[in-house]
């Protein structure tokens, strides 16, 4: 077969399997090493937060790897191939997100010494809101993790013929193994290893593609001629899938919701040994995100340059758009034994990273939000056994969720849409609590429910009635150069699949289909946040929020937190003094003094004194 002209491709060689298996064993080995190394300290704090002794560099790489998952390895190049390079504008969103998270959320969470992000909701509002927030997070994370498991399994099925569900189960089992034994340290150090593998996979694709096409300049020119480089669309229309504004405004808010309040990410930076290290981990994370998204997008542009005259999906060579990159790998790299195995390892490494992070975070919120408040006298040994048991439970739950993920179309957009629909109202709830002292629990709960209903309405409606091509802007593809073509009549289905499909769109579209349901998926999070804040403030005002007294002032964002990573010992000493007066158990999760109503007044004067500095 001539490259780029369609048809079957080679399958895995023995060396590919060797490289792939070696990578998986290497990841598991790192996890086991951390488990053995830390066997003398098996406390809950060590398991869930690495003893709060992590430093910025490994945490930064772990933050990047956690959500730059197999979905990124598989989905982002397919996105760039089909819709062009506008996805790269997310690099701006990543920078905005990191600054907001580092300067607003990190100081607050780090100062409170929490283990579960949702502890804050009980401190600021009440226990019911905390339980609802935790439940929303568990639902979102389990479904997202199912998608993450499904992504590389799909790739392996495409290029190796391995049984899809066999791979799904194997993925979950490997993650369960080192999560159960090694805890957060195992997850973070394994992420570092997996991040390197992911980047190496992209580099291999780009380098080989450049050789085949005659240089990077030829790839760039092909993409320019094919309209793939027209990234900066400044149309303010909120119904258009990707524009500069939807990505920078909507995308920034969405990524803030992922990094600032998502337990998987928060658990990493609060594991750092100082506030400075925690902030530096997020700024270092920007570099990792930029590098990853740049390589992923250019891999997609390389794929377009090779297949510009013969689209493998339209030609029937692959069964889903998310199989395009695996198909390309076997098409151009099969002659180099072991290199296709490296690519599959990249996708698989991203999955192991994200799944292990999710399992560890799910265990943390379950223990801190559900187990400890009910059974308050558990010993450290009992908690350790519960941690390991929950790791196994959530591992198999995520495997089950992969079955649902297989029905949701393009994995990249489906994953981001889920974050928008659920994390948006949650982000609004945190913002409401952190910035407005008049907000009360009645307003917070009402705002959260209304925001969630609104985002689920528009999100589910968008899946049932996908926006038409004039809003999703699919770019032209061709099968003119294929060795074998079929007479295919297709339409573009978006935003959920962003792919070519043989199923015609329904003619009986309701009036909302081309307006409300066509809202860009990147605005789901912003919509949910705004609705939650506005409804929360109005209801709080109606129900007496302005008359609240005895609020803990350290639950609000303070001016001195901003850009104060290097405030030094004086800053840390003041926080330490406040924490000592609030209760010596502040660092122990649900035993935090903030849970005891009788102690709400203890820190008010001290915190008020600090906030004036």
pLDDT score, position 578 = 42
What DSSP character marks residue 493?
Answer: E
Tens-place pLDDT, residues 415-436: 667 777 888 999 999 999 999 9
Q: Please indicate, yes or no, if residue 345 is contained in any of the structural domains.
A: yes
Q: Which domain CATH number covers 24? A: 1.20.1730.10
Number of helices and strands in the chain (H, E): 24, 2
pLDDT score, position 218 = 92
Q: Which two tokens mark 96?
A: 């905005």
Total domains in the chain come to 2
Report how far residue 100's alpha carbon sits from residue 253's, in angstroms, rounded to the nearest whole number. Answer: 10
Q: Please indicate, yes or no, if residue 145 is contained in any of the structural domains.
A: yes
Section 191-210 average pLDDT = 82
Tens-place pLDDT, residues 281-338: 888 888 888 998 999 999 999 999 999 888 888 888 887 777 788 888 888 888 888 8
pLDDT score, position 317 = 82
Phi/psi at 491 (5° precision)? -125, 165
- Dihedral (C-alpha) 553, 557, 562, 566: value to the nearest 10 degrees? 50
What are the angstrom distances between the C-alpha of 512 and each of 236, 237, 465? 20, 16, 9
Instruction: Tell me the pairing of strands 499-501 and 491-493.
Output: antiparallel
pLDDT greater than 90 at residue 253: yes
Does 80 or 35 have the greater pLDDT score?
80
Report how far residue 62's alpha carbon sits from residue 192's, in angstroms, rounded to the nearest whole number. Answer: 6
Residue 285 neighbours by CB distance under 10 Å: 30
3-state SS, residue 484: coil
pLDDT score, position 521 = 86
Q: Please indicate, yes or no, if residue 560 is contained in any of the structural domains.
A: yes
Residue burial 311-340, b: 16+ Cβ < 10 Å; e: rest: bbbbbbbbebbbbbbbbbbbbbbbeeebbb
Q: Which two tokens mark 477?
A: 């593809």
Report how far residue 38's alpha carbon sits from residue 545's, in angstroms, rounded to the nearest whole number. Answer: 48
pLDDT greater than 50 at residue 552: yes
Q: What DSSP element (H or E) covers 538? A: helix 524-542
- What residues make up the domain containing 613? 550-613
Q: Please indicate, yes or no, if residue 1 is contained in any of the structural domains.
A: no
- Choosing from 377, 407, 437, the residue where a domain stops is 407
| Residue (of 277, 385, 56) closest to 188 by Cα position | 56
Q: Is 559 exposed, middle or buried (0-12, 13-18, 19+ CB in 10 A)?
A: exposed
Q: Please indicate, yes or no, if residue 230 is contained in any of the structural domains.
A: yes
- Dihedral (C-alpha) 41, 46, 51, 57: value to the nearest 10 degrees? 120
Section 197-206 average pLDDT = 84
Residue count of the chain: 613
3-state SS, residue 468: coil
Report how far residue 245's alpha carbon sits from residue 232's, in angstroms, rounded to the nearest whole number. Answer: 9
Section 219-235 average pLDDT = 87
pLDDT score, position 379 = 76
Q: Find the helix packing angle between 275-307 and 90-100, rounded to 10°.
A: 170
Q: Please indicate, yes or no, if residue 86 is contained in any of the structural domains.
A: yes
Report how far residue 451's alpha carbon sits from residue 259's, in angstroms, rounded to the nearest whole number. Answer: 20
- Dihedral (C-alpha) 427, 428, 432, 433: value to the nearest 10 degrees? -30
Q: Please indicate, yes or no, if residue 281 is contained in any of the structural domains.
A: yes
Q: What residues have CB less than 8 Å from 597, skipping those under 6 apart?
A: none
590 and 569 in contact (C-beta within 8 Å)?
A: no
């Amino acid at each position: 077969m001539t490259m780029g002209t369609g048809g079957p491709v080679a399958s895995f060689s023995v060396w590919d399997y060797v490289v792939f298996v070696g990578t998986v064993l290497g990841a598991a080995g790192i996890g086991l090493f951390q488990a053995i190394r830390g066997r003398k300290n098996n406390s809950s704090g060590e398991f869930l937060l690495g003893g709060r002794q992590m430093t910025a560099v490994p945490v930064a790489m772990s933050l990047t790897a956690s959500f730059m998952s197999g979905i990124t390895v598989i989905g982002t190049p397919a996105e760039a191939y089909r819709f062009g390079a506008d996805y790269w504008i997310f690099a701006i969103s990543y920078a905005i997100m990191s600054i907001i998270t580092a300067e607003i959320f990190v100081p607050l969470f780090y100062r409170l010494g929490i283990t579960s992000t949702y502890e804050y909701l009980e401190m600021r509002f009440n226990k019911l809101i905390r339980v609802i927030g935790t439940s929303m997070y568990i639902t979102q994370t389990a479904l997202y993790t199912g998608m993450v498991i499904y992504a590389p399994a799909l790739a392996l099925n495409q290029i190796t013929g391995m049984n899809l569900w066999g791979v799904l189960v194997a993925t979950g089992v490997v993650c369960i193994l080192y999560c159960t034994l090694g805890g957060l340290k195992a997850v973070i150090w394994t992420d570092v290893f997996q991040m390197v593998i992911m980047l190496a996979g992209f580099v291999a694709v780009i380098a080989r593609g450049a050789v085949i096409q005659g240089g990077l300049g030829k790839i760039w020119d092909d993409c320019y001629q094919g309209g793939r480089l027209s990234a900066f669309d400044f149309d303010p229309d909120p119904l258009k899938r990707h524009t500069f504004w939807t990505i920078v405004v909507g995308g920034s808010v969405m990524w803030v919701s992922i990094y600032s309040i998502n337990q998987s990410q928060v658990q990493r930076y609060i594991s750092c040994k100082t506030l400075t290290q925690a902030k530096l981990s997020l700024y270092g994370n920007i570099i990792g995100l930029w590098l990853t998204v740049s390589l992923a997008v250019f891999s997609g542009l390389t794929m377009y340059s090779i297949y510009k005259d013969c689209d493998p999906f339209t030609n029937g060579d692959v069964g889903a758009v998310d199989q395009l990159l695996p198909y390309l790998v076997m098409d151009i790299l099969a002659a180099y034994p072991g290199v296709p195995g490296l690519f599959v390892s990249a996708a698989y490494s991203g999955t192991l990273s994200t799944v292990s992070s999710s399992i560890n975070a799910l265990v943390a919120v379950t223990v801190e939000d559900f187990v400890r408040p009910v059974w308050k006298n558990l010993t450290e040994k009992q908690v350790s056994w519960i941690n390991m048991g929950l790791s196994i439970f959530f591992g198999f739950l995520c495997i089950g969720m992969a079955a649902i993920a297989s029905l949701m179309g393009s994995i990249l957009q489906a994953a981001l849409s889920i974050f928008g629909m659920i994390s948006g109202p949650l982000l609004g709830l945190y913002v409401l609590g952190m910035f407005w002292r008049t907000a009360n629990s009645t307003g917070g709960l009402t705002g959260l429910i209304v925001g969630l209903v609104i985002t689920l309405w528009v999100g589910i409606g968008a899946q049932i009635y996908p926006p038409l091509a004039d809003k999703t802007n699919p770019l032209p593809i061709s099968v003119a150069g294929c060795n074998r073509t079929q007479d295919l009549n297709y339409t573009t289905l978006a935003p959920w699949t962003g792919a070519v499909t043989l199923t015609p769109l329904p003619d009986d579209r309701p009036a909302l289909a081309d307006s409300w349901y066509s809202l860009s998926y990147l605005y789901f999070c912003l919509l949910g946040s705004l609705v939650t804040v506005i409804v929360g403030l109005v209801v709080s005002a109606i129900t007496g929020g302005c008359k609240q007294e005895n609020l803990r002032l350290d639950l609000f964002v303070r001016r001195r937190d901003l850009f104060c990573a290097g405030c030094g010992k004086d800053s840390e000493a003041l926080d330490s003094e406040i924490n000592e007066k609030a209760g010596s158990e502040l660092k122990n999760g649900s035993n935090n003094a903030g849970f005891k109503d009788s102690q709400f007044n203890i820190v008010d004067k001290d915190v008020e004194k600090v906030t004036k500095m």
